[in-house]
Protein backbone atom coordinates (compact mmCIF):
# COMPACT_ATOMS: atom_id res chain seq x y z
CA UNK A 1 0.00 0.00 0.00
CA UNK A 2 1.27 3.49 -0.87
CA UNK A 3 1.39 5.85 2.11
CA UNK A 4 0.37 9.46 1.74
CA UNK A 5 2.81 12.34 2.18
CA UNK A 6 2.63 15.90 3.50
CA UNK A 7 3.77 18.82 1.41
CA UNK A 8 4.52 22.53 1.77
CA UNK A 9 4.48 25.21 -0.93
CA UNK A 10 6.67 28.28 -0.43
CA UNK A 11 5.45 31.27 -2.45
CA UNK A 12 1.97 29.73 -2.58
CA UNK A 13 0.13 32.89 -3.63
CA UNK A 14 1.86 33.12 -7.05
CA UNK A 15 0.95 31.45 -10.33
CA UNK A 16 2.96 28.24 -9.98
CA UNK A 17 2.08 27.98 -6.27
CA UNK A 18 -1.59 28.38 -7.17
CA UNK A 19 -1.39 25.65 -9.81
CA UNK A 20 0.26 23.30 -7.30
CA UNK A 21 -2.54 23.97 -4.81
CA UNK A 22 -5.23 23.32 -7.44
CA UNK A 23 -3.72 19.95 -8.28
CA UNK A 24 -2.39 18.80 -4.91
CA UNK A 25 -5.65 19.44 -3.02
CA UNK A 26 -7.14 16.61 -5.13
CA UNK A 27 -4.00 14.45 -5.38
CA UNK A 28 -4.72 10.90 -4.15
CA UNK A 29 -1.43 10.56 -2.22
CA UNK A 30 -1.29 13.97 -0.50
CA UNK A 31 -2.42 14.30 3.08
CA UNK A 32 -1.55 17.64 4.69
CA UNK A 33 -0.77 20.81 2.71
CA UNK A 34 0.98 23.89 4.08
CA UNK A 35 0.69 27.00 1.89
CA UNK A 36 3.36 29.52 2.92
CA UNK A 37 2.99 33.14 1.87
CA UNK A 38 4.77 36.26 3.05
CA UNK A 39 2.23 38.69 1.55
CA UNK A 40 -0.94 36.80 2.44
CA UNK A 41 -0.29 35.19 5.82
CA UNK A 42 -3.53 34.15 7.57
CA UNK A 43 -5.72 34.91 4.55
CA UNK A 44 -7.80 32.05 3.20
CA UNK A 45 -6.27 30.44 0.13
CA UNK A 46 -9.61 30.94 -1.62
CA UNK A 47 -9.40 34.69 -0.95
CA UNK A 48 -6.38 34.81 -3.29
CA UNK A 49 -6.97 31.84 -5.59
CA UNK A 50 -10.70 32.57 -5.89
CA UNK A 51 -11.51 29.54 -8.04
CA UNK A 52 -10.58 27.33 -5.05
CA UNK A 53 -13.66 28.53 -3.15
CA UNK A 54 -15.56 25.39 -2.16
CA UNK A 55 -12.43 23.21 -2.51
CA UNK A 56 -10.48 24.19 0.61
CA UNK A 57 -10.82 26.06 3.91
CA UNK A 58 -7.04 26.22 4.36
CA UNK A 59 -5.30 29.54 5.09
CA UNK A 60 -1.80 30.73 4.16
CA UNK A 61 0.74 30.57 6.97
CA UNK A 62 3.91 32.56 7.50
CA UNK A 63 6.20 29.77 8.72
CA UNK A 64 6.65 26.18 7.69
CA UNK A 65 6.11 23.40 10.27
CA UNK A 66 8.93 21.00 9.46
CA UNK A 67 7.43 18.26 11.66
CA UNK A 68 4.67 17.62 9.14
CA UNK A 69 6.32 17.82 5.75
CA UNK A 70 7.92 15.28 3.41
CA UNK A 71 8.34 17.44 0.32
CA UNK A 72 8.74 21.22 -0.14
CA UNK A 73 7.97 23.03 -3.41
CA UNK A 74 9.84 26.32 -3.79
CA UNK A 75 7.79 28.65 -6.03
CA UNK A 76 9.96 31.70 -5.54
CA UNK A 77 11.69 34.10 -7.93
CA UNK A 78 15.16 33.28 -9.19
CA UNK A 79 17.69 33.86 -6.43
CA UNK A 80 15.07 33.62 -3.67
CA UNK A 81 15.02 29.80 -3.56
CA UNK A 82 18.73 29.54 -2.78
CA UNK A 83 18.31 32.29 -0.20
CA UNK A 84 15.32 30.52 1.39
CA UNK A 85 17.36 27.32 1.72
CA UNK A 86 20.25 29.25 3.25
CA UNK A 87 17.92 30.80 5.82
CA UNK A 88 16.05 27.59 6.70
CA UNK A 89 17.74 24.41 7.88
CA UNK A 90 15.79 21.62 6.25
CA UNK A 91 16.27 18.08 7.60
CA UNK A 92 17.80 15.78 5.06
CA UNK A 93 14.83 13.39 4.84
CA UNK A 94 12.67 16.19 3.36
CA UNK A 95 12.77 16.46 -0.44
CA UNK A 96 13.01 19.84 -2.19
CA UNK A 97 11.51 20.59 -5.62
CA UNK A 98 12.64 24.03 -6.76
CA UNK A 99 10.79 25.73 -9.62
CA UNK A 100 13.26 28.61 -9.98
CA UNK A 101 16.50 28.45 -11.97
CA UNK A 102 18.72 28.52 -8.88
CA UNK A 103 19.86 24.88 -9.08
CA UNK A 104 19.19 23.98 -12.69
CA UNK A 105 22.71 24.06 -13.99
CA UNK A 106 24.69 22.15 -11.42
CA UNK A 107 24.48 20.30 -8.15
CA UNK A 108 24.92 22.77 -5.36
CA UNK A 109 26.24 22.48 -1.83
CA UNK A 110 23.64 24.45 0.06
CA UNK A 111 23.61 24.31 3.73
CA UNK A 112 26.22 24.96 6.34
CA UNK A 113 25.50 21.55 7.89
CA UNK A 114 24.67 19.35 4.99
CA UNK A 115 24.85 19.09 1.26
CA UNK A 116 21.98 18.54 -1.11
CA UNK A 117 22.31 17.38 -4.66
CA UNK A 118 19.83 18.71 -7.18
CA UNK A 119 19.09 16.77 -10.32
CA UNK A 120 17.74 18.54 -13.39
CA UNK A 121 14.12 17.46 -13.26
CA UNK A 122 13.26 16.70 -16.85
CA UNK A 123 11.83 13.21 -16.21
CA UNK A 124 11.95 12.18 -19.87
CA UNK A 125 15.72 12.65 -19.75
CA UNK A 126 16.81 11.80 -16.22
CA UNK A 127 14.09 9.97 -14.29
CA UNK A 128 16.13 6.76 -14.17
CA UNK A 129 18.73 8.70 -12.13
CA UNK A 130 16.32 9.90 -9.43
CA UNK A 131 16.88 8.36 -6.01
CA UNK A 132 14.97 8.78 -2.72
CA UNK A 133 17.60 11.33 -1.65
CA UNK A 134 17.80 13.53 -4.74
CA UNK A 135 16.25 16.97 -4.85
CA UNK A 136 14.80 18.40 -8.03
CA UNK A 137 15.67 21.52 -10.01
CA UNK A 138 12.51 21.77 -12.09
CA UNK A 139 13.29 22.91 -15.67
CA UNK A 140 12.18 26.19 -17.25
CA UNK A 141 9.07 26.26 -19.45
CA UNK A 142 10.74 27.16 -22.78
CA UNK A 143 13.60 24.79 -21.91
CA UNK A 144 11.16 21.91 -21.35
CA UNK A 145 9.32 22.50 -24.61
CA UNK A 146 12.46 22.87 -26.71
CA UNK A 147 14.35 19.96 -25.16
CA UNK A 148 11.40 17.59 -25.52
CA UNK A 149 11.15 18.71 -29.15
CA UNK A 150 14.74 17.68 -29.88
CA UNK A 151 15.74 15.04 -27.33
CA UNK A 152 15.18 11.92 -29.48
CA UNK A 153 17.59 13.30 -32.09
CA UNK A 154 20.50 13.20 -29.68
CA UNK A 155 21.50 9.59 -30.15
CA UNK A 156 20.18 9.19 -33.67
CA UNK A 157 22.03 8.55 -36.94
CA UNK A 158 21.47 12.14 -38.04
CA UNK A 159 22.65 13.87 -34.85
CA UNK A 160 26.16 14.58 -36.22
CA UNK A 161 24.73 16.05 -39.44
CA UNK A 162 22.62 18.65 -37.69
CA UNK A 163 24.82 21.73 -37.67
CA UNK A 164 22.29 24.45 -36.87
CA UNK A 165 18.89 24.39 -35.17
CA UNK A 166 16.61 27.40 -35.46
CA UNK A 167 13.80 27.77 -32.97
CA UNK A 168 11.06 30.38 -32.59
CA UNK A 169 8.82 30.02 -29.57
CA UNK A 170 6.01 32.12 -28.18
CA UNK A 171 4.78 32.24 -24.58
CA UNK A 172 1.70 33.52 -22.77
CA UNK A 173 1.71 36.23 -20.12
CA UNK A 174 1.60 33.88 -17.08
CA UNK A 175 5.17 32.88 -17.95
CA UNK A 176 6.33 36.12 -16.33
CA UNK A 177 4.67 35.55 -12.93
CA UNK A 178 2.14 37.64 -11.00
CA UNK A 179 4.23 40.78 -10.51
CA UNK A 180 2.94 43.51 -12.79
CA UNK A 181 5.26 44.85 -15.47
CA UNK A 182 4.97 46.98 -18.59
CA UNK A 183 4.81 43.91 -20.81
CA UNK A 184 2.23 42.08 -18.68
CA UNK A 185 -0.12 45.06 -18.49
CA UNK A 186 -3.38 44.23 -20.31
CA UNK A 187 -3.30 47.38 -22.44
CA UNK A 188 0.12 46.46 -23.80
CA UNK A 189 -0.21 42.70 -24.02
CA UNK A 190 -3.67 42.44 -25.55
CA UNK A 191 -3.59 42.22 -29.37
CA UNK A 192 0.18 42.47 -29.28
CA UNK A 193 3.29 40.34 -29.91
CA UNK A 194 6.99 41.01 -29.41
CA UNK A 195 10.36 39.34 -29.78
CA UNK A 196 12.41 39.51 -26.59
CA UNK A 197 15.93 38.42 -25.61
CA UNK A 198 16.80 37.05 -29.10
CA UNK A 199 19.75 34.61 -28.94
CA UNK A 200 20.21 35.36 -25.25
CA UNK A 201 17.23 33.95 -23.37
CA UNK A 202 18.25 32.57 -19.96
CA UNK A 203 16.90 29.08 -20.77
CA UNK A 204 19.58 28.59 -23.43
CA UNK A 205 22.04 27.69 -20.66
CA UNK A 206 19.85 24.78 -19.52
CA UNK A 207 19.37 23.62 -23.07
CA UNK A 208 23.11 23.67 -23.74
CA UNK A 209 23.95 21.93 -20.47
CA UNK A 210 21.46 19.11 -20.76
CA UNK A 211 20.57 18.60 -24.43
CA UNK A 212 23.54 19.53 -26.58
CA UNK A 213 26.07 16.95 -25.47
CA UNK A 214 28.28 14.19 -26.87
CA UNK A 215 27.79 14.01 -30.67
CA UNK A 216 24.89 16.43 -30.67
CA UNK A 217 26.32 19.94 -30.57
CA UNK A 218 24.55 22.06 -33.17
CA UNK A 219 24.58 25.83 -33.09
CA UNK A 220 21.26 26.83 -31.55
CA UNK A 221 19.48 29.97 -32.73
CA UNK A 222 16.58 30.87 -30.45
CA UNK A 223 14.06 33.69 -30.93
CA UNK A 224 11.61 33.89 -28.00
CA UNK A 225 8.39 35.88 -28.33
CA UNK A 226 5.67 37.19 -26.02
CA UNK A 227 2.13 36.59 -27.21
CA UNK A 228 -1.21 38.11 -26.35
CA UNK A 229 -2.59 35.03 -24.59
CA UNK A 230 -2.51 33.97 -20.96
CA UNK A 231 -0.94 30.54 -20.93
CA UNK A 232 0.78 28.11 -23.26
CA UNK A 233 3.96 27.82 -25.32
CA UNK A 234 4.22 27.02 -29.00
CA UNK A 235 7.74 26.22 -30.23
CA UNK A 236 8.76 25.64 -33.83
CA UNK A 237 12.26 24.19 -34.35
CA UNK A 238 13.79 23.38 -37.72
CA UNK A 239 17.06 22.19 -39.18
CA UNK A 240 18.54 21.05 -42.49
CA UNK A 241 19.47 17.42 -43.07
CA UNK A 242 22.13 16.45 -45.57
CA UNK A 243 21.01 12.89 -46.05
CA UNK A 244 17.55 11.94 -47.28
CA UNK A 245 15.35 11.00 -44.37
CA UNK A 246 11.82 9.59 -44.31
CA UNK A 247 9.21 11.23 -42.14
CA UNK A 248 7.98 7.81 -40.95
CA UNK A 249 11.50 6.92 -39.77
CA UNK A 250 11.71 10.10 -37.76
CA UNK A 251 8.26 9.52 -36.26
CA UNK A 252 9.39 6.01 -35.34
CA UNK A 253 12.56 7.39 -33.72
CA UNK A 254 10.48 9.77 -31.58
CA UNK A 255 7.74 7.30 -30.65
CA UNK A 256 10.32 4.66 -29.65
CA UNK A 257 12.20 7.16 -27.53
CA UNK A 258 9.01 8.35 -25.82
CA UNK A 259 7.23 5.00 -25.61
CA UNK A 260 7.08 4.85 -21.80
CA UNK A 261 6.57 8.58 -21.28
CA UNK A 262 2.94 9.15 -20.30
CA UNK A 263 2.69 12.86 -21.09
CA UNK A 264 4.36 12.92 -24.50
CA UNK A 265 1.93 12.82 -27.39
CA UNK A 266 2.66 12.64 -31.12
CA UNK A 267 0.31 14.88 -33.07
CA UNK A 268 -0.63 14.06 -36.65
CA UNK A 269 -1.37 17.69 -37.42
CA UNK A 270 0.47 20.87 -36.51
CA UNK A 271 -0.52 21.36 -32.86
CA UNK A 272 -2.27 24.42 -31.48
CA UNK A 273 -1.70 25.62 -27.90
CA UNK A 274 -5.27 25.06 -26.72
CA UNK A 275 -5.07 21.28 -26.81
CA UNK A 276 -2.26 21.39 -24.22
CA UNK A 277 -3.66 24.13 -21.98
CA UNK A 278 -4.69 22.85 -18.54
CA UNK A 279 -2.98 19.52 -19.13
CA UNK A 280 0.45 18.12 -18.34
CA UNK A 281 0.86 16.98 -21.94
CA UNK A 282 3.53 17.84 -24.48
CA UNK A 283 2.32 17.55 -28.09
CA UNK A 284 4.79 17.38 -30.97
CA UNK A 285 4.42 17.19 -34.73
CA UNK A 286 7.07 16.26 -37.30
CA UNK A 287 7.16 17.58 -40.84
CA UNK A 288 9.81 17.26 -43.56
CA UNK A 289 9.77 19.73 -46.44
CA UNK A 290 12.59 19.27 -48.99
CA UNK A 291 15.74 19.09 -46.86
CA UNK A 292 14.19 20.76 -43.79
CA UNK A 293 12.88 18.94 -40.72
CA UNK A 294 10.33 20.96 -38.72
CA UNK A 295 9.29 20.00 -35.19
CA UNK A 296 6.34 21.98 -33.84
CA UNK A 297 5.40 21.48 -30.20
CA UNK A 298 3.18 22.86 -27.48
CA UNK A 299 2.72 22.62 -23.72
CA UNK A 300 1.17 24.59 -20.87
CA UNK A 301 3.92 26.75 -19.34
CA UNK A 302 2.32 26.48 -15.90
CA UNK A 303 1.84 22.68 -16.01
CA UNK A 304 4.29 20.60 -18.08
CA UNK A 305 6.44 23.77 -18.05
CA UNK A 306 6.28 24.19 -14.24
CA UNK A 307 3.83 22.88 -11.60
CA UNK A 308 2.55 19.81 -13.47
CA UNK A 309 6.13 18.70 -14.14
CA UNK A 310 6.96 19.39 -10.47
CA UNK A 311 4.14 17.02 -9.42
CA UNK A 312 5.29 14.46 -11.99
CA UNK A 313 8.73 14.70 -10.35
CA UNK A 314 7.23 14.32 -6.86
CA UNK A 315 5.30 11.24 -8.04
CA UNK A 316 8.51 9.64 -9.31
CA UNK A 317 10.54 10.56 -6.22
CA UNK A 318 7.92 9.06 -3.88
CA UNK A 319 7.17 6.04 -6.10
CA UNK A 320 3.58 7.08 -6.81
CA UNK A 321 2.22 6.27 -10.28
CA UNK A 322 3.74 8.96 -12.52
CA UNK A 323 0.37 10.30 -13.67
CA UNK A 324 -1.16 10.60 -10.17
CA UNK A 325 -3.11 13.82 -9.83
CA UNK A 326 -2.28 14.81 -13.40
CA UNK A 327 -5.12 13.31 -15.43
CA UNK A 328 -6.66 16.68 -16.08
CA UNK A 329 -8.96 17.99 -18.74
CA UNK A 330 -7.91 20.53 -21.36
CA UNK A 331 -9.98 23.66 -21.90
CA UNK A 332 -9.91 23.37 -25.65
CA UNK A 333 -13.09 25.37 -26.28
N1 LIG B 1 5.16 31.24 -14.52
C2 LIG B 1 5.68 30.24 -15.26
O3 LIG B 1 5.15 29.89 -16.32
C4 LIG B 1 6.91 29.52 -14.78
C5 LIG B 1 7.34 28.39 -15.49
C6 LIG B 1 8.49 27.72 -15.06
C7 LIG B 1 9.19 28.19 -13.96
N8 LIG B 1 8.76 29.31 -13.31
C9 LIG B 1 9.54 29.77 -12.15
O10 LIG B 1 8.82 29.45 -10.97
C11 LIG B 1 9.08 30.45 -9.97
C12 LIG B 1 7.74 31.03 -9.51
O13 LIG B 1 7.10 31.60 -10.65
P14 LIG B 1 5.64 32.21 -10.58
O15 LIG B 1 5.22 32.43 -11.99
O16 LIG B 1 4.79 31.43 -9.67
O17 LIG B 1 5.96 33.62 -9.92
P18 LIG B 1 4.96 34.59 -9.15
O19 LIG B 1 3.57 34.40 -9.63
O20 LIG B 1 5.54 35.95 -9.22
O21 LIG B 1 5.03 34.06 -7.64
C22 LIG B 1 6.23 34.08 -6.90
C23 LIG B 1 5.87 34.09 -5.42
O24 LIG B 1 7.08 34.15 -4.67
C25 LIG B 1 6.87 34.86 -3.46
N26 LIG B 1 7.97 35.80 -3.27
C27 LIG B 1 8.89 35.76 -2.29
N28 LIG B 1 9.81 36.69 -2.43
C29 LIG B 1 9.47 37.41 -3.51
C30 LIG B 1 10.03 38.52 -4.15
N31 LIG B 1 11.15 39.09 -3.72
N32 LIG B 1 9.40 39.00 -5.24
C33 LIG B 1 8.28 38.41 -5.71
N34 LIG B 1 7.70 37.32 -5.13
C35 LIG B 1 8.30 36.83 -4.05
C36 LIG B 1 5.51 35.50 -3.56
O37 LIG B 1 4.66 34.65 -2.84
P38 LIG B 1 4.11 34.96 -1.40
O39 LIG B 1 3.63 36.35 -1.35
O40 LIG B 1 3.03 33.96 -1.31
O41 LIG B 1 5.23 34.72 -0.45
C42 LIG B 1 5.11 35.34 -5.00
O43 LIG B 1 3.73 35.14 -5.15
C44 LIG B 1 9.98 31.51 -10.62
O45 LIG B 1 11.31 31.26 -10.29
C46 LIG B 1 9.73 31.27 -12.11
O47 LIG B 1 10.78 31.68 -12.93
C48 LIG B 1 7.63 29.96 -13.68
**Tens digits of residue pLDDT in 145-192:** 999 999 999 989 899 899 999 999 999 999 999 988 999 999 999 999
> Could you read off the pLDDT of 212-257 as tens digits, one per residue?
987 899 999 999 999 999 999 999 999 999 888 999 999 999 999 9
Q: What is the C-alpha to C-alpha distance for residues 156 and 254, in angstroms, rounded to an integer? A: 10
- For residue 114, what pLDDT is reported? 54
**Residue 141 annotated among the catalytic residues of the structure:** yes
Give the atom of ligand 1 at the shortest distance from the alpha carbon of 60: 40
Q: State the fold for domain 142-299.
A: Dihydrodipicolinate Reductase; domain 2 (3.30.360)
- For residue 108, what pLDDT is reported? 44
Residues in the chain: 333
Please provide the CATH number assigned to the domain covering 5-138+306-317: 3.40.50.720
Q: What is the C-alpha to C-alpha distance for residues 107 and 66, in angstroms, rounded to an integer? A: 24
What are the boundaries of each domain within the chain?
A: 5-138+306-317, 142-299
- For residue 112, what pLDDT is reported? 40
Q: What order do you get walking across the sheet with 233-240 strand by strand?
A: 194-195, 219-226, 164-171, 233-240, 292-299, 282-289, 264-266
The gap between the terminal CA atoms of the chain, to the nearest Å, is 39
Ligand 1 site, CB within 6 A: 11-17, 37-40, 75-78, 80, 99-100, 140-141, 174-175, 177-179, 301-302, 305-306
pTM for this model (two decimals)? 0.96
Amino acid sequence: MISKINIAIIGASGYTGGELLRLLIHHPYIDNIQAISTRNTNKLISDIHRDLGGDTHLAFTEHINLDIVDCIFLCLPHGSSAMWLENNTIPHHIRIIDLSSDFRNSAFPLDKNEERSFIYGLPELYKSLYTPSTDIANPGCFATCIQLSLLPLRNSDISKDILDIHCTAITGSTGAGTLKSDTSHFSWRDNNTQVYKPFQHQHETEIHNHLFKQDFTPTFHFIPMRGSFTRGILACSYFTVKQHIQKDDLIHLYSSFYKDMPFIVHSKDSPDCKRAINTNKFFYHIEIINDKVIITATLDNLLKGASGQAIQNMNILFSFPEISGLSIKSSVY
